[in-house]
Chain A
Amino acid sequence: KAGVTQTPRYLIKTRGQQVTLSCSPISGHRSVSWYQQTPGQGLQFLFEYFSETQRNKGNFPGRFSGRQFSNSRSEMNVSTLELGDSALYLCASSLQDRVKGGELFFGEGSRLTVL
């Protein structure tokens, strides 16, 4: 069974540019969440999508946006990049099965460096 796939794995951008990250969830998973991980702040929730609808949103500026397609694949976009956006961006998918504990399955992440 294929895991969560994120692309690209690594990317370097300059300030002011924009970036789009992609996430393919595990087959059958309809919920996709995005997290930002930095050494200082740890894992911080960005947003969560379920059946193409954003259900939850974290405390990030509007420069951070996302969407989910009908096949559950998701993208996140960061516009007008700032140095502080340098981080590992993790995508996680879930069955949203509360009986089983709703385990989040994380991808390997997209490491973004902003110069």
Chain B
Amino acid sequence: QKEVEQNSGPLSVPEGAIASLNCTYSDRGSQSFFWYRQYSGKSPELIMFIYSNGDKEDGRFTAQLNKASQYVSLLIRDSQPSDSATYLCAVSSNFGNEKLTFGTGTRLTIIP
């Protein structure tokens, strides 16, 4: 069983709709959770981080964390074609980012 699992996709969402990306992790001691976006041929860039159970909103993005279920998700509202990318979920066992375990990513395509 992989430590961080994501649906590989591809996930296709109409423009303007909500895109929902999911991630589960196996280490119950995990403390920090990150979502990175990676455009094709580019390096990953941080979108959101979350430490506490519940929701965290930043613009069109909302990260949701449920430690009891070992589940973290990313919602993208009003999806835009520029949101088309691979989204990587990453988990750390501490409150920093010294050693991240990444999922293999979900490829998201926004359909105009």
- Spell out A's residues near B (CB within 8 Å): 31, 33, 35, 41-45, 48, 50, 55-56, 58, 90, 94, 96, 98, 101-104, 106-109
Q: Contact between A41 and B104 (Cβ–Cβ < 8 Å)? A: yes
- Contact A98-B98, Cβ < 8 Å, known A41-B104, A42-B88: no
Stretch touching chain A among B15-23, B41-49, B67-75, B76-84: B41-49
Q: Which residues of chain B are within 8 angstroms of A108 by Cβ–Cβ distance?
A: 42-43
Q: Contact between B97 and A104 (Cβ–Cβ < 8 Å)? A: yes
Q: Classify the interface of chain B: helix, strand, loop or mixed.
A: loop
Within 8 A of A (CB), among B19-36: 32, 34, 36
Least CB distance from B8 to A in Å reads 10
Q: Contact between B46 and A103 (Cβ–Cβ < 8 Å)? A: yes
A91 to B101, CA, bound (A): 15
Q: Contact between B102 and A109 (Cβ–Cβ < 8 Å)? A: no
Q: Of B49, B97, B102, which is within 8 A of A43 by CB? A: B102
**Interface presence of B99 (CB below 8 A):** yes
Least CB distance from A13 to B in Å reads 22
Q: Contact between B98 and A48 (Cβ–Cβ < 8 Å)? A: yes
Q: Contact between B96 and A98 (Cβ–Cβ < 8 Å)? A: yes
A101 to B36, CA, bound (A): 13
Q: Which residues of chain B are within 8 angstroms of A33 by Cβ–Cβ distance?
A: 97-100
Within 8 A of A (CB), among B58-112: 88, 90, 95-105
A96 to B104, CA, bound (A): 24
Least CB distance from A114 to B in Å reads 20
Q: Of A31, A94, A101, A106, which is within 8 A of B44 by CB? A: A106
11 residue pairs from A and B, CB less than 8 Å apart: A33-B97, A33-B100, A42-B88, A42-B102, A45-B99, A58-B99, A90-B44, A96-B98, A98-B96, A102-B97, A106-B44
A108 to B105, CA, bound (A): 18
Q: Contact between A31 and B43 (Cβ–Cβ < 8 Å)? A: no
A103 to B34, CA, bound (A): 9
CB nearest to A104 among chain B residues:
B97
A101 to B32, CA, bound (A): 9
CB nearest to A41 among chain B residues:
B104
